[in-house]
Amino acid sequence: MRLSRIKLAGFKSFVDPTTLDLPSNLVGIVGPNGCGKSNTIDAVRWVMGESSAKHLRGDSMEDVIFSGSSSRKPVGQASIELVFDNSSGKLGGAYAQYAEIAVKRRVSRDGQSQYFLNGARCRRRDITDIFLGTGLGPRSYAIIEQGMISRLIEARPEDLRIYLEEAAGISKYRERRRETENR
Ligand code: ATP
Ligand code: MG
């Protein structure tokens, strides 16, 4: 599985529809301060279902929507689509058969979030589900941001265990068991 494309529209500084192609396994994003490098990482975390505005460096979820500039009016909604190359079939469950998996999230100013998998409406849970055990998720270790290494070193044993379970691929079973027990 490999993230091969990020499509952004109305998200933070990316007001116009923008497609970022990630052509290989190693890609560097460079540019001057404030050009939107960290915003692209926020975008990835946001699609995976991040529900804390603080983790996206904002005060409220509305802050992910382009809020206007000296020359542009604010827009009403933000959307991000991540396209994964799944030719290895490693990504999840019913979706393993697809060579490409597109995960999309859209939010409007009234705070309503909609999620899509390969173009079809789905629940947030369907998205977190297919990535469980892959290391990719809103709070997973696939995205190592500033300060995370020291947080890991200082983590309480029960928090560290969550990372270890994800790395070992057993977090999805724990999640399923929790769901069954709650039924
Ligand atoms: P640095 O090198 O300093 O880390 P960066 O490339 O990571 O910079 P980002 O943090 O991605 O920069 O982008 C910051 C820019 O995004 C700022 O100019 C900020 O005004 C803009 N921005 C963030 N949220 C919004 C929003 N909702 N609407 C419009 N612009 C926004
Ligand atoms: Mg930055």
Q: Give 147-179 pLDDT, tens digit per residue.
A: 888 988 999 999 889 888 888 888 888 888 888
Per the annotation, where are the binding residues for ATP?
Answer: 32-39
Q: 172 is in which domain, residue-wise?
A: 146-183
The structure's pTM equals 0.87
The H or E element spanning position 9 is strand 2-9
**pLDDT band at 23; cut points 50, 70, 90:** very high
CATH number at residue 100: 3.40.50.300
Q: Are residues 36 and 113 in the same domain?
A: yes
Q: Are residues 77 and 30 in the same domain?
A: yes
What total number of domains does the chain contain? 2
Inter-CA distances, 4 with 17, 75, 98, 102, 173, Å? 17, 27, 14, 10, 28
Ranking 25-29, 51-55, 73-77, 113-117 by mean pLDDT, the lowest is 51-55
- Return the half-sphere exposure (C-beta side, CA atoms, 13 A cut-off) of residue 166: 20
SS3 126: helix
11 within some domain: yes
Q: How far apart are the C-alpha atoms of 30 and 36, rounded to whole Å?
A: 10
Q: What is the pLDDT of residue 46?
A: 92
Q: Are residues 107 and 175 in the same domain?
A: no
Query: Ligand 1 atom closest to Cα of 58?
Result: 24
Q: How far apart are the C-alpha atoms of 123 and 46, rounded to whole Å?
A: 14
Q: Are residues 91 and 165 in the same domain?
A: no
Separation of 37 CA from ligand 2 center, angstroms? 6
Render pLDDT for 62-119 as a digit per residue (tens, 0 to 9).
Answer: 899 999 999 999 999 999 999 999 998 887 677 888 999 999 999 999 888 999 999 9
Q: Which residue has the tokens 């709650």?
A: 182
Tell me, what's the ipTM? 0.98
